[in-house]
Structure 1
Amino acid sequence: MKQFLDKDFVLQTETAKHLFHDYAKDLPIIDYHCHISPQEIYEDRRFETLADVWLGGYQPDGSIAGDHYKWRLMRSNGMPEELVTGRGDDFARFKGFAEVLTKAIGNSMYHWCNLELQKYFGITEPLTPQNAEKIWNKCNDKLKNDPQMSVRGLIKQSNVEYVGTTDDPIDSLIWHEKIAEDKTIDFLVRPSFRPDKAVNIHKEGFAEYIKKLAKAVNKESLDSTQDVIDALIERVEFFAEHGCVASDHGLDYVPFRKLPMEECDKAFKKAMNGEAVTVEEAEGYQTALLVALGKAYHRLGITMELHYSCLRNINERQFKTLGPDTGYDAMANNSCGGNLAAFLSELDKTEELPKTIVFSLNPADNEQIGTIIGGFQSAEVPGKIQHGPAWWFNDSKSGMEEQMKSLANLGLLGNFIGMLTDSRSFLSYTRHDYFRRIMCNLIGNWVENGEYPNDDEALKSIVQGISYYNAKRYFGL
């Protein structure tokens, strides 16, 4: 029987152990998509308790932020919301989570949490309700007294070279400017352009947001679809001046419906007046924006990330109480592969298709994505159109394996740009270690099964590329 979480955790073969320990383990991390706060990086935030850094919840400004993966598990064990996201006693919240974790056999959260305790706090025994108080005290003491346990310290000891945050077009990027000016910060932090609120014409708050976008570009108002496009392009150029190398689009599904601009403007005016728009009208407006932005990304050398098939805020009562991103989202089942292909083709027709990463939250889309991206590769960069890593509900051991197997079956796994955290937690960098172990184990099994030769130089190039070098090259870092 193997020891729990030992140095060869997940690594089943000698080849896998060699690939991980000798080639993957010590490479820097490029975390090209996450949701951590640039302000907290600049201010080098320190956390009062393990609950603050691990569970999150209500923030000083009244917002709710934290790890909704953990919140979902806590609710699944019948914990009251006061102990999940609420203002309940922090130790009670932590001890409750310890009880939850012992039941999470087979869930990658069990691995993540214990990896975090091991890496950042030196705790090698699994967390249980019985040892929760001892671990709580030890971790809190370390958070309080160890200078490496600040936000910057956590990033540095994780060997992170690049952090790509997620930022709204109207953001002043003031914290990014402060970070760039601070010579004591020796890792890169860059903004990523997330224009969802301007694209989602059919969703609540659209008109109010467009007024804020107008203000951001010093206009009294934006009165047409082209005005919105021009404003967004002005903002993405501002982001590019601040080192932005990626955009990010969170879509319910990939729309593609070409309508005359006059029809898009009719839809825009309806939405600005608070009137409902039809699906066809919304898709026409969205397509106009996405095509224009795609061309701008190509011109500016910015990668376009497309996330879709997420069914958001499915619990109306809790959404009204807690707001978005609190653990009430699910996989959607969309048939938008044809739209995705048509959208990429529209940009390719004029040779303005940017580097693009495609993610679906539904793993049933893996093979479809793998076949579509193969139709739009080019000589600009190896793997110009990427099948993004197993995302959100899929970044489990089995989910990561299935995504990589699909990519290997239908494309070139050796050009894959690898893992991202997509996280709001500064402890989540152990997910890169987890991913690298899974990837090395998968490749090691293929080698030991005689499915790929034991060519050490070729294997080193593949493993190190997926772990680090492919993303470094792809984003031009």
Structure 2
Amino acid sequence: MNTSNFISDNFLLQSEVAETLYHMYAKDLPIIDYHNHLSAKKIAENEPVKNITEAWLKEDHYKWRGMRANGIDEIYITGQATSHKEKFLKWAETVPYTLRNPLFHWTHLELKRYFNIDELLQPSTAENIYEKANAVLENKTPAQLLEDMKVEVVCTTDDPTDDLVYHTEIANSNFYTKVLPTFRADALFFINKENFKNYLNKLALSVNKEIKSLKDFLDAIDLRIKYFDKQGCRLSDFGVGEALHIIDFNEKEISEIFNKKLEGTELSITEVNKYRSFLFIYLGKKYHEYNWVQQYHLGPIRNNNSRLLEQVGLDAGVDSIGDFPMAEFMSKLFNKLNSTNQLAKTITYNLNPSQNEVFATMMGNFQNSDVPGKMQWGSGWWFLDQKDGMEKQINTLSNMGLLSRFVGMLTDSRSFLSFPRHEYFRRILCNLIAEDVNQGLVPNDIEFLGKMIQDICYYNAVNYFKFN
């Protein structure tokens, strides 16, 4: 491939209206990235990134999957015996074959935005690009990379037992970017796992209090939520990949189920589902009390390749789209919380694209006057955060809800080089709205449409999350 300047000023913008909307209204807005998996430790320590392989390939499951599909040996993907340069060259060997995969666009957007590199990454350009990128990263810290992209807020993903010491360090720094924790509650639900009692011990240590009963457990959760809130947390998250149920229970039953687990007795599926139902409701009410936004990432089927799981460990890049039913779970959970007026602001994300309309219409059932767009159907997630997935999400939300109240894009990333995904979303959004203008489907009122785009890309998030 010999084409240079692939990422032009008007990349993805297919009309003059799209160009106007993007360049005049969307391009220069700051970024609020309200869900990602960045390391607060790395941001706080703020050491130069130094190597593009570390920044790009170390934890990027998207690239791992692409390399595997291209027949690259695992030693060059997750192996420890190869050098940074060898891994990068194998990625460069793969990139030309990612054409029409979002990796092709993301790769070249990131090369352009962070390193001002216009060349297409391929074997013939790989060595030069590797050296150029490393020369830039040698003097770039995580905080500087975030500031370069005008990232005002990032919300990391944190276990309830995390001490958040690095978030505190960042809060006391002079960094441009606020780095706030998110209360990721998954481990609290794993009562059916062998290591649940070990996790309870870890939770007990975090509050300096023994956990010998359900009340002790709930007290510990309350203390951790209070602590997270003081550290600036404004969101919770949940993302277990399996079928979920809300079934009837009473608190006496839940106390007995919890005690059985403490005694080492195996629980039935019904007991596990009752415990989880109780915990969903309990936490949901807490999130409402603290005026947090609760997030539900629903639909993956995880760890499909047991051989790679054993070889690489968790997060090996062998997860995919599941086909679990989700409508009844969401309906019962949100209805129970809403029936006592304790339903927090909520964002749901589906991984199965066949459930787009299911999720979009479910959120519409529980809107009210608390805040515009209280119940959000979130952006295209994971396998759906590419051009086709984003366009389908935007179109479905437009048909089933109010696109103008949407809180916009996020990275869901572990990489400090992933923030051009916000630009990608903004360009796609502007191009879609421009298509409507050009087809006579919406008025050609650039100022009105520009304000709507600015809201979706930035201001709706500012007003919805209310970060200090």
Task: Please give the range of the TM-score, normalised by the shorter of the 2 chains.
Answer: over 0.9
- What is the aligned counterpart of 1:331 among 321, 326, 345? 321
For the 8 Å contact 1:295–1:353, the answer to whether it is kept is yes
CA separation of 1:460 and 1:417: change in aligned 2, threshold 3 A: same
Report what 2:388 is aligned to.
Answer: 398
SS at 2:204 equivalent: helix
Matches within 5 A, 1:58-457: 66-87=59-80, 88-144=82-138, 147=139, 149-182=140-173, 184-224=174-214, 226-252=215-241, 253-457=243-447
- Counterpart residue identity of residue 227, structure 1: D
C-alpha deviation, 1:85, in angstroms: 1.1
The one-letter code sitting in structure 2 at the alignment partner of 1:32 is: Y
**Contact 1:254–1:340 at 8 Å: present in 2 too?**
no
Cα deviation, 1:212-243, whole Å, max 9, x if unaligned, reads 1122122222422x432332122111100111
Residue deviations 1:38-61 (CA, integer Å, cap 9, x gap):
1111111212321111111xxxxx
RMSD: 1.6
Deviations 1:255-283 (A, max 9, x none): 31121223323433444455543332211
Identity of aligned residues (%): 42
Q: Any unmatched runs of 5+ in structure 1?
A: 57-65
| Number of aligned positions between the proteins | 463
Aligned partner of residue 29 in structure 2, secondary structure: coil
Counterpart Cα distance in 1 of 2:313 and 2:212: 28
* One-letter identity of the residue aligned with 1:74: M
Asked if 1 retains the 8 angstrom alpha-carbon contact of 2:4 and 2:120, the reply is: no
Corresponding letter in the other structure for 1:249? F
- Paired with 1:76 and 1:266, the residues of 2 have a C-alpha distance of 49
Amino acid at match of 2:55: V
Tell me which amino acid in the other structure corresponds to 1:194. R
- Counterpart Cα distance in 1 of 2:332 and 2:29: 38
| 1:392-446 deviations in Å (ceiling 9; x for gaps) | 0110110010011110000000000000000000000010000100111111111
Q: What is the deviation of 1:200?
A: 2.1
- Does the CA contact (< 8 Å) of 1:229 and 1:289 recur in 2? no
| Aligned-partner Cα distance in 1 for 2:65–2:237 | 25
Query: How big is the shift at 1:452?
Result: 0.6
Question: Aligned in 2, Cα 1:417/1:206: closer, same or farther, shift over 3 Å?
Answer: same
Distance 1:174 1:284 in 2: 35
One-letter amino acid matched to 2:169 = K
One-letter code aligned to 1:86: G
Shift of 1:290: 1.3
| Local SS of the residue matching 1:193 | strand
Give, as a single letter, the amino acid of the residue that structure 1 aligns with 2:104: Y
Structure 1 residue 333, shift from structure 2 partner: 0.5
- Of the three residues 32, 50, 57, the one matched with 2:34 is 32
Query: 1:13: how far off?
Result: 1.4
Alpha-carbon distance in 1 for matches of 2:217, 2:101: 43
2:464 matches 1:471: no
Q: CA deviation at 1:469?
A: 0.4
Q: Name the amino acid aligned to 1:307.
A: H
Structure 1 residues 325, 204: closer, same or farther in 2, change over 3 A?
A: farther
Q: Displacement of 1:474 after TM fit?
A: 0.5
Separation of aligned partners in 2, 1:240 and 1:137: 43
Is 1:229–1:293's contact at 8 Å kept on the other side of the alignment?
no
Partners of 2:416 and 2:212 in 1: CA distance: 38
Query: Within 2, Cα distance between the matches of 1:235 and 1:220?
Result: 14
* Structure 2 runs not aligned, ≥5 long: none
CA displacement at 1:338 relative to structure 2: 1.2
Cα distance in 2 between the residues matched to 1:10 and 1:274: 57
TM-score, length-scaled by structure 1: 0.94
Quick check: 1:254–1:308 contact (8 Å CA) kept in 2? no
Rounded to whole Å, the distance in 1 between the matches of 2:264 and 2:83 is 42
For the 8 Å contact 1:211–1:222, the answer to whether it is kept is: no
State the shift of 1:3 in Å. Answer: 6.3
Q: 1:274 to 1:115 in 2, by over 3 A?
A: farther
SS of aligned partner of 1:119 = helix
Distance 2:182 2:136 in 1: 32
2:5/2:119 contact within 8 Å kept: no
Deviation at 1:204, TM superposition (A): 4.4
Tell me by how many angstroms 1:317 deviates. 2.3
5 Å matches for 1:14-25?
Answer: 14-25=16-27
Q: Provide Cα deviations, 1:49-85, integer angstroms capped at 9, x if missing partner.
A: 21111111xxxxxxxxx11111111111122222101
CA contact (8 A) 1:233 1:293 kept: no
- When residues 178 and 127 of structure 1 are mapped into structure 2, their CA distance, relative to the original with a 3 A threshold, is same
| Secondary structure of the corresponding residue to residue 219 of structure 1 | coil
SS at match of 1:19: helix
Q: Secondary structure at the match of 1:6?
A: coil
Distance between the aligned counterparts of 1:204 and 1:16, measured in 2? 54
